[in-house]
A and B are shown apart, each in its own frame.
Chain A
Amino acid sequence: MTTAGEEFIRRMAAGDRDAFGHFYDRYAPLVFPLILRIVRDRTDAADVLQEVFWEAWQGASGYDPVRGTPEAWMITRARTRAIDRIRAVRRRSETFVPPVDEGLAPASPEPGGDAAERAEDRGVIRTALNQLPHAQREVIELAYYAGLTQTEISARLQQPLGTVKTRIRLGLERLRDVVRRAT
């Protein structure tokens, strides 16, 4: 079955600008919070957001549903671009490492079927990260949100590289379990 998102991407690949407008309306609110969380500056985040959607427009014909959902396609792209941005900043300032974001404010519930349903899932999945043992959550956040590599995490936490890898793996396995149960 083709989802609405896949259909938009298919039409974007054919050059349909209206489809791009709908695609933006649907996915920009989903990816922007992640971008902002990573880059932490609203102006930078707006730049990255524009770049991410521009790339989606340009690369629509390269989307393959077998490889993942449009959500994962956009989130992966957004995360990569946002990390590129902070790594560039970090290279310029050498020492800057964004702090790990603790304690998230709860999502405001949205009205309406699809969105409300998704919001319900979100509750389960969001708590999944909070449910992880601190050591596992810490390494995943340092990697995924702060853009540190395994070597950098190992140095920062003063833990052996093998330990860092194992923690990431265990944490991710648990996250995947939660998502699998929620869907």
Chain B
Amino acid sequence: MNGHETYETLAAVYAVGALDGDDLAQFEVHLAEGCQPCATALRESREALARLALGDTRAVPPAEVKSALMARIGTAPRAAARPSRAGWLTWAAATAAVVALAAMLTSGIVASRYEARLGQMAREMAAERERLQREEAALELLRDPATRVVELRSPSGSNAIARVIWNDKAGGHLIVSNLPPAPEGKAYELWALGGAQPRPAGLFQVDASGRVAQKVEAGGEPPKGFAVTLEPATGVPAPTGPIVMASR
């Protein structure tokens, strides 16, 4: 059987509006796939049927229809740029079929993809908000005359640098640059120095560019200085690893 001849027959039946069942679905998919010969045949058939219909002029439309319409369009808000529903649907069957199929096949996928994207955006926004709050808090801390900035340098002479913005009452912020990421299973740990023992002041990791900024909780004796050591990723209560940075 000639494959496309079947469609030519379906196109004719479709044009007179009589296609139904599987044939209808099959033909609409075929049209939606962009078959130009079928689209052209359909257009020509519709033009021919229109010409046929236009030949009948026995009935004159009732006058009140126009006045009703003019009143209706004069008052009703207009749904601009929105193709009307069923008339155009039949007319633009290709488009309609594409839309319907796309909706059926992909709405679930699209919805879940958007949900995932929305979730990601929400997380990104929360992270941004947190970062902004941290920076604002650091800035606010710098306005306080009691706040000092302590600089930490690498004993090995690398260009890694950290600053602790510290306020004995409010705590502080650690800002690190140029520090290589900790090896697998390791983390950097900040220590507040000055008491009998170094006080653990927070574990941190740096990003790929060697930077991090994080809050340091207040507490303990007012520190005289700070140091950073390399420790197991879970952190330790007292320093065990090598000192990577320290204040003078």
Contact = CB atoms under 8 A, between A and B. Distances in A.
Contact of B54 (A59, A75, A77, A108): A75
A107 B58 contact: yes
A168 interface: yes
Given A57-B78, A68-B46, A150 B13 contact: yes
Nearest to B23: A150
Interface in B14-39: 15-21, 23
A150 B19 contact: yes
A149 B18 contact: yes
B73 A76 contact: no
Interface stretch (B87-95, B114-122, B127-135, B221-229): B87-95
Contacts of A57: 69, 73, 78
Contacts of A17: 70, 73-74
B90 to A, nearest CB: 5
Contact of A68 (B47, B58, B66): B47
A62 B61 contact: no
B84 A62 contact: yes
B137 to A, nearest CB: 53
Contacts of A45: 59
A34 B56 contact: yes
Contacts of A122: 51, 54-55, 57
Interface in B167-191: none
A122 B82 CA distance: 34
Given A68-B46, A71-B54, A166-B9, A52 B73 contact: no
Given A21-B70, A59-B84, A169-B13, A128 B52 contact: yes
B61 A172 contact: no
A126 B83 contact: no
A10 interface: no
A13 B64 CA distance: 24
B18 A148 contact: yes
B88 to A, nearest CB: 5
Contact of A32 (B59, B70, B74): B59
Contact of A61 (B8, B21, B65, B80): B80
Contacts of A67: 43, 91-92
A36 B57 CA distance: 11
A66 to B, nearest CB: 9
Contacts of B53: 30-31, 33-34, 75, 78-79
A88 to B, nearest CB: 13
Interface of B: 8-10, 12-13, 15-21, 23, 43-62, 64-66, 68-70, 72-74, 78-88, 90-92
27 contacts: A17-B70, A28-B61, A28-B66, A31-B53, A54-B72, A55-B85, A58-B79, A59-B82, A61-B83, A62-B84, A68-B47, A72-B43, A107-B56, A107-B57, A108-B58, A121-B55, A122-B57, A125-B55, A126-B55, A129-B52, A144-B16, A150-B13, A168-B9, A169-B9, A175-B49, A176-B44, A179-B51
8 tightest CB-CB pairs across the interface, nearest first? Answer: A59-B84, A62-B83, A77-B87, A143-B18, A122-B55, A75-B50, A126-B55, A169-B12
